[in-house]
Structure 1
Amino acid sequence: MFARLGQLVVHHPWKVIGLWLLIIIGVVAAAPELKSTTDQAEFLPSHYESIQAMQLQQQAFPQSAAPAAIIVFARADGAPLSGSDTAKIGEVGATLAAANIKDVTGLQPVPPSDNRLIQIIAVQMTKVTSAGDTKQTDAVKELRTVLKDQVRDTDLKAGITGSAAQFLDQQESSTKGLAIVGVATIVLILVLLLLIFRSPVIALLPILTIGAVSMVVNGLIAMVAKAFDLQVDTSVNAILLVVLYGVGTDYILFLMFRYRERLRAGDDPKTAMVNAVTRVGEAITSAAGAVIIAFMALTLSTLGMFRALGPALAIAVAMALLAGLTLIPAIVSLLGTKVFWPSKAWQSEPKGARFTALGAALGKRPAVFAVVSGGILIALGIVAVGFNPTFDLTSGSTSDSSESVVYNKELLKGMPAGATQPTDVLIRTSEGALAGDQLAAFRTTLTQVPGVGQVSEPILSGDKTTAAFQVTLNSVPESDAALETVRGPLRDAVHGAAPAGTTAVVGGISAVFVDFQDAMNHDYRIVFPVAAILIMIVLGLLLRSLVAPWYLMASVFLGFVATLGAAVLVFQHIQGNSGLIFTLPVIMYLFVVALGTDYNILMVARLREEAREGHNPRQAAALSLRHTGPTVAAAGVILAGTFASMMLAGNNVLSQMGFAISVGIAIAAFVMAMFFTPALTALLGHRAWWPGHGDEKSNGSKTVREGEYSTAAP
Structure 2
Amino acid sequence: MFSRLGRFVVKQPWLVIGVWLIAIVAIAATAPKLTATTEQADFLPSHYESIQAMETQQKAFPNSATPAALIVFERADGAPLTTADAATVQAAAAKLTERNIKDVTAIAAMPASDNKLVDVVAVQMTKVTSPNDKRQTDAVKDLRTALQETVAGSDLKAGITGQAAQTLDQQDSGNKALAIIGIATIVLILVLLLVIFRSPVIALLPIIVIGAISMAVNGLIAMVSKAFDLKVDNSVQSLLVVVLFGVGTDYILFLMFRYRERLRAGEDPKTAMVSAVTRVGEAISSAAAAVIIAFGALMLSTLGMFRSLGPALAIAVAVALLAGLTLVPAIVSLLGTKVFWPSKAWQQEPTGARFAAVGGSLGKRPGLYALVSGGLLVALGLVALGFNPTFDLSSSSTSDTSESTVYSKELLKGMPAGTTQPSQVYLSSDGAALTSDQLSTYRTALTGISGVGQVSEPKLSENKSIAEYQVTLNDAPESDAALATVQGPLRDVAHSAAPQGTKAVVGGMTSIFVDFKAAMNRDYAVVFPVAAVLIMLVLGLLLRSLVAPWYLIASVFLGFAATLGAAVLVFQHLQGNSGLIFTLPLIMYLFVVALGTDYNILMVARLREEAREGHDPHKAAAEAVKHTGPTIAAAGLILAGTFASMMLAGNNALSQMGFAISVGIGIAAFVMAMFFTPSVTALIGRKAWWPGHGGDADPQAEWNEQQWARSEPDSARR
Q: What TM-score results when the alignment is normalised by the length of structure 2?
A: 0.96
- Equivalent residues of 1:41, 1:512 under 8 A apart: no
Greater CA drift, 23-32 or 318-327: 23-32
The one-letter amino acid of 1:334's match is L
| Structure 2 stretches lacking a partner, 5+ long | 701-718
Find the aligned partners of 1:261 and 1:333 in 2 and give their Cα distance: 15
The one-letter amino acid of 2:680's match is L
Instruction: Establish whether residue 399 from structure 1 lines up as the match of residue 399 from structure 2.
Output: yes
Question: What SS does the aligned partner of 2:111 have?
Answer: coil
Deviation by residue 1:227-282 (Cα, 9 ceiling, x = unmatched)? 33333333333322111111111111000000000111111111111110111000
Find the aligned partners of 2:32 and 2:170 in 1 and give their Cα distance: 24
How big is the alpha-carbon RMSD for the aligned residues of Structure 1 and Structure 2? Answer: 1.4
The one-letter amino acid of 1:359's match is G
Greater CA drift, 305-314 or 512-521: 305-314
Match of 1:251 in 2: 251
Greater CA drift, 21-30 or 338-347: 21-30
Find the aligned partners of 2:153 and 2:7 in 1 and give their Cα distance: 75
Greater CA drift, 435-444 or 642-651: 642-651
Match of 2:58 in 1: 58
Instruction: Establish whether residue 351 from structure 1 lines up as the match of residue 380 from structure 2.
Output: no
How far off is 1:699 after superposition? Answer: 9.6
Match of 2:492 in 1: 492
Match of 2:325 in 1: 325
- Equivalent residues of 2:39, 2:129 under 8 A apart: no
Greater CA drift, 153-162 or 34-43: 34-43
Give percent identity, aligned residues only: 74
Find the aligned partners of 1:197 and 1:77 in 2 and give their Cα distance: 62
Match of 1:134 in 2: 134
How far off is 1:586 after superposition? Answer: 1.2
| Structure 1 stretches lacking a partner, 5+ long | 701-714
Find the aligned partners of 2:350 and 2:242 in 1 and give their Cα distance: 31
Measured at CA, do residues 7 and 356 of structure 1 come closer, stay the same or move farther in structure 2, by a change above 3 Å? Answer: same
How far off is 1:112 after superposition? Answer: 1.2
Find the aligned partners of 2:630 and 2:318 in 1 and give their Cα distance: 25
- Equivalent residues of 2:596, 2:665 under 8 A apart: yes
- Equivalent residues of 1:292, 1:314 under 8 A apart: yes
Find the aligned partners of 2:382 and 2:438 in 1 and give their Cα distance: 52
Greater CA drift, 83-92 or 451-460: 83-92
Deviation by residue 1:36-60 (Cα, 9 ceiling, x = unmatched)? 3445453111110000001101100
Match of 1:424 in 2: 424
Match of 2:672 in 1: 672
Match of 2:221 in 1: 221
Find the aligned partners of 2:71 and 2:302 in 1 and give their Cα distance: 36
Match of 1:43 in 2: 43
Instruction: Establish whether residue 523 from structure 1 lines up as the match of residue 550 from structure 2.
Output: no
Kindly tell me the number of residue pairs found equivalent between the two proteins.
700
Deviation by residue 1:348-388 (Cα, 9 ceiling, x = unmatched)? 11124321121111111111111111001111111111111
Question: What SS does the aligned partner of 1:160 have?
Answer: strand
The one-letter amino acid of 1:592's match is V
Greater CA drift, 188-197 or 74-83: 74-83
The one-letter amino acid of 1:255's match is L
Deviation by residue 1:613-664 (Cα, 9 ceiling, x = unmatched)? 1111111111111111111111111111112122222222221111111111
How far off is 1:225 after superposition? Answer: 2.5
Match of 1:185 in 2: 185
The one-letter amino acid of 1:159's match is G
Match of 1:363 in 2: 363
Find the aligned partners of 1:75 and 1:698 in 2 and give their Cα distance: 81
Find the aligned partners of 2:172 and 2:42 in 1 and give their Cα distance: 21
Measured at CA, do residues 699 and 147 of structure 1 come closer, stay the same or move farther in structure 2, by a change above 3 Å? Answer: closer
The one-letter amino acid of 2:232's match is V
The one-letter amino acid of 2:338's match is K
Match of 2:710 in 1: none
Question: What SS does the aligned partner of 1:232 have?
Answer: coil
How far off is 1:431 after superposition? Answer: 4.0
Task: Describe how 1:585-600 pairs up with structure 2 within 5 A.
Answer: 585-600=585-600
Question: What SS does the aligned partner of 1:697 have?
Answer: coil
Question: What SS does the aligned partner of 2:256 have?
Answer: helix
Task: Describe how 1:252-651 pairs up with structure 2 within 5 A.
Answer: 252-651=252-651
Match of 1:234 in 2: 234
Measured at CA, do residues 619 and 352 of structure 1 come closer, stay the same or move farther in structure 2, by a change above 3 Å? Answer: same
Question: What SS does the aligned partner of 1:233 have?
Answer: coil
Match of 2:143 in 1: 143
How far off is 1:150 after superposition? Answer: 1.1
- Equivalent residues of 1:612, 1:695 under 8 A apart: yes
- Equivalent residues of 2:613, 2:698 under 8 A apart: no
How far off is 1:571 after superposition? Answer: 0.7
How far off is 1:306 after superposition? Answer: 0.5
Question: What SS does the aligned partner of 2:266 have?
Answer: coil
Deviation by residue 1:585-634 (Cα, 9 ceiling, x = unmatched)? 11111111111111111111111111111111111111111111111111
Question: What SS does the aligned partner of 2:401 have?
Answer: coil
Greater CA drift, 307-316 or 408-417: 307-316
- Equivalent residues of 2:536, 2:553 under 8 A apart: yes
The one-letter amino acid of 1:207's match is I
Deviation by residue 1:90-139 (Cα, 9 ceiling, x = unmatched)? 11111111122222221111121111111111111222244432222222
Greater CA drift, 179-188 or 124-133: 124-133
Measured at CA, do residues 499 and 699 of structure 1 come closer, stay the same or move farther in structure 2, by a change above 3 Å? Answer: closer
Greater CA drift, 459-468 or 94-103: 94-103
Find the aligned partners of 1:161 and 1:498 in 2 and give their Cα distance: 34
The one-letter amino acid of 1:423's match is S
Find the aligned partners of 1:209 and 1:219 in 2 and give their Cα distance: 16
How far off is 1:317 after superposition? Answer: 1.1
Find the aligned partners of 1:131 and 1:246 in 2 and give their Cα distance: 26
Greater CA drift, 385-394 or 635-644: 635-644
Measured at CA, do residues 224 and 430 of structure 1 come closer, stay the same or move farther in structure 2, by a change above 3 Å? Answer: same
Find the aligned partners of 2:677 and 2:382 in 1 and give their Cα distance: 20
Question: What SS does the aligned partner of 2:308 have?
Answer: helix
Find the aligned partners of 1:482 and 1:601 in 2 and give their Cα distance: 44
Question: What SS does the aligned partner of 1:114 have?
Answer: coil
Greater CA drift, 220-229 or 261-270: 220-229
Greater CA drift, 207-216 or 561-570: 207-216
Find the aligned partners of 2:699 and 2:288 in 1 and give their Cα distance: 33
Runs of 4+ in 1 over 3 A off after TM superposition: 37-42
How far off is 1:205 after superposition? Answer: 0.7
Q: What TM-score results when the alignment is normalised by the length of structure 1?
A: 0.96
Find the aligned partners of 2:161 and 2:226 in 1 and give their Cα distance: 32
Find the aligned partners of 1:360 and 1:68 in 2 and give their Cα distance: 64
Greater CA drift, 655-664 or 419-428: 655-664
Find the aligned partners of 1:698 and 1:478 in 2 and give their Cα distance: 59
Find the aligned partners of 2:106 and 2:646 in 1 and give their Cα distance: 39
- Equivalent residues of 2:383, 2:569 under 8 A apart: yes
Find the aligned partners of 2:221 and 2:57 in 1 and give their Cα distance: 33
- Equivalent residues of 1:423, 1:510 under 8 A apart: yes
Find the aligned partners of 2:162 and 2:387 in 1 and give their Cα distance: 29
How far off is 1:491 after superposition? Answer: 0.4
The one-letter amino acid of 1:216's match is A
How far off is 1:396 after superposition? Answer: 1.1
- Equivalent residues of 1:431, 1:501 under 8 A apart: no
Question: What SS does the aligned partner of 2:354 have?
Answer: helix
Match of 1:704 in 2: none
Measured at CA, do residues 650 and 224 of structure 1 come closer, stay the same or move farther in structure 2, by a change above 3 Å? Answer: farther
Measured at CA, do residues 397 and 384 of structure 1 come closer, stay the same or move farther in structure 2, by a change above 3 Å? Answer: same
Instruction: Establish whether residue 75 from structure 1 lines up as the match of residue 75 from structure 2.
Output: yes
- Equivalent residues of 1:621, 1:679 under 8 A apart: yes
The one-letter amino acid of 1:609's match is E
Find the aligned partners of 1:129 and 1:482 in 2 and give their Cα distance: 25
Match of 1:31 in 2: 31
Deviation by residue 1:297-336 (Cα, 9 ceiling, x = unmatched)? 0000011111111222111111111111111111111111
Find the aligned partners of 2:257 and 2:512 in 1 and give their Cα distance: 49
